[in-house]
Amino acid sequence: MDIKIIYSDIDGTLLKGDHHISPKTREKILELDRKGIPFILVSARMPDGVRLIQRELGNHRPIICYSGGLILDEDQKVIYSRQMELGLAVKVQADLERECPGICVNTYGGELWVVKDDKNPWVIREEKITEGKSAAGDIGSVFLQAGGIHKFLLMGNPDDIAKGEAFLKADYPGLSVLRSNEYYLEVMDGSVDKAAGVKCLCERYGIPPEQAAAFGDGENDVAMLRAVGYGFAMANAPERVKKQVGNVTKSNEEDGIWEVVKGL
């Protein structure tokens, strides 16, 4: 395989079930980095959540946040940003609260994570996983100066998430609506996906996508996996994801990334 750059989702892909990176996978990634093969973290997480994993990994590369909605360079300066217009975001939030009251709506923009109730169990659970901190507030006020948001993250049981997904796809066909797992639904501007982030950084590094590898396990990873020359779904990915991707590696618990790159 002629691989010059590697992109990886975080949760369910790079991280094992304990939310940490396998030592041998980490060592191999850093070895490749020293050889000049960048390893880029690509996640639906907010910047702080991605930086948390980058610190554990120990490399110094750009990061792709909000599923491609925000890209930061090595010095945490914005390379690319695409937001959902604030007026639209406020309307979407109100409609979700009316149509899908069982869903916990989280709003992200830049470095901010805003919720209606920061004591909601779903919010507390996410804070523990990402080591981030939400703030209770009104998105119309909090994001007024920014003029938009990067992402809604909808959390709930699978039936509620399915209901929210169906509602949004029917009433807001111009938005990007993708599941990261059965409990989480990511909602962004319609132009946002991980493939756009991959193409942006490939251009920045002067590496054609055909010489890029990518790893992921969620529906929101499919576009990225199909945009590169070597796209791998994890064995733990849902069947509908694996069917859309040409290659499948071992699961995140079995060091699936290491299994592919060990010979590089």
Active-site hit among 2, 9, 189, 255? 9
CATH class of 84-189: alpha beta
**pLDDT tens digit string along 186-207?**
999 999 999 999 999 999 999 9
For the CA atoms of 130, 132, 138, 140, the dihedral, rounded to the nearest 10 degrees, stands at -80
Q: What mean pLDDT value characterizes the chain?
A: 95
Confidence of residue 171 (pLDDT cuts 50, 70, 90): very high
pLDDT at 180: 80
Q: Provide the β-strand partners of residue 248.
A: 233
The residue assigned the tokens 């590369």 is: 61
In contact, 93 and 105? CB cutoff 8 Å: yes
Side-chain-side CA neighbours of residue 118 (13 Å): 11
Does 5-81+192-261 match 84-189 in CATH topology? no
In contact, 214 and 243? CB cutoff 8 Å: no
Output the pTM of the full model.
Answer: 0.90
CB neighbours of residue 181 within 10 Å: 16
- Catalytic annotation present for 9: yes
Residue 76 DSSP class: S
**pLDDT tens digit string along 225-238?**
999 999 999 999 99
Whether the pLDDT of residue 145 is over 90: the answer is: yes
CATH class of 5-81+192-261: alpha beta
The widest CA-to-CA distance across the chain, in whole angstroms, is 53
**DSSP-assigned states of every residue in 106-152:** EEEETTEEEES-TT-HHHHHHHHHH----EE--HHHHTTTTTEESEE
d(CA 95, CA 201): 35
**pLDDT tens digit string along 39-96?**
999 999 999 999 999 999 999 999 999 999 999 999 999 999 999 999 999 999 999 9
Average pLDDT over residues 211-223: 95
* DSSP-derived pairing of the beta strands 247-249 and 230-234: parallel
CA distances from 143 to 85, 137, 170 (A): 10, 10, 26
Confidence of residue 181 (pLDDT cuts 50, 70, 90): confident
Confidence of residue 214 (pLDDT cuts 50, 70, 90): very high
For the CA atoms of 32, 255, 203, 197, the dihedral, rounded to the nearest 10 degrees, stands at -150
Whether the pLDDT of residue 110 is over 90: the answer is: yes
Residue ranges covered by each domain of the chain: 5-81+192-261, 84-189
Alpha helices in 40-193 (DSSP H): 47-57, 86-99, 121-130, 139-142, 158-171
Position 25: which residue type?
Answer: T
At 84, give phi and psi (nearest 5°): -85, 130
Whether the pLDDT of residue 242 is over 90: the answer is: yes
